[in-house]
């Protein structure tokens, strides 16, 4: 267990993760997912595959939620151009 202090950097609160935690995937330049689970913040390092999966899931949800809008855009794109 480590006791860490939160610092203010710009408009963000920052906690530095000690290098000893690189064995858990917390290495420099690693994308990290932060989420609330039962009132506790959980940090999860993301592999490239997991990051891609999350992006594809979000894209699918957005396309499903905006299906009507996407159809209107498709119809607009297929309409003849006026000179």
Percentage of residues of the chain with pLDDT beyond 70: 99
Host H or E run for residue 57? helix 48-65
**Model pLDDT, residue 81:** 77
Q: What number of other Cβ atoms are within 10 A of residue 67's Cβ?
A: 9
In a domain, 2, yes or no: no
In this structure, the answer to whether residues 54 and 65 fall within a common structural domain is yes
pTM, full prediction? 0.58
Q: Which domain holds residue 68?
A: 48-78
Mean pLDDT to the nearest integer, 37-42: 95
Domain at 16, CATH number:
2.10.260
Q: Give the model's pLDDT for residue 37.
A: 96
- Compute, in degrees rounded to 10, the torsion defined by CA atoms 62, 40, 4, 45: -40
As for how many domains the chain has, the answer is 2
Check whether 83 has a pLDDT greater than 60. Answer: no
Q: Are 14 and 6 in contact (CB under 8 A)?
A: yes
DSSP code at position 79:
S
Whether 37 and 52 map to the same domain: the answer is no
Among 50, 33, 51, residue whose Cα is nearest residue 42 = 33
> Could you tell me if 31 and 56 lie in one domain?
no
């Amino acid at each position: 267990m480590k006791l860490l202090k939160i610092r203010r950097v710009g408009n963000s609160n920052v906690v530095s993760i000690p290098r000893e935690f690189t064995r858990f995937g917390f290495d420099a330049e690693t994308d990290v997912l932060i989420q609330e689970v039962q009132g506790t913040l959980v940090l999860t390092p993301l592999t490239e595959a997991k990051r891609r999966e999350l992006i594809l899931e979000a894209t699918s949800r957005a396309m499903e939620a905006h299906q009507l809008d996407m159809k209107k855009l498709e119809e607009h794109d297929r309409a003849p151009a006026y000179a």
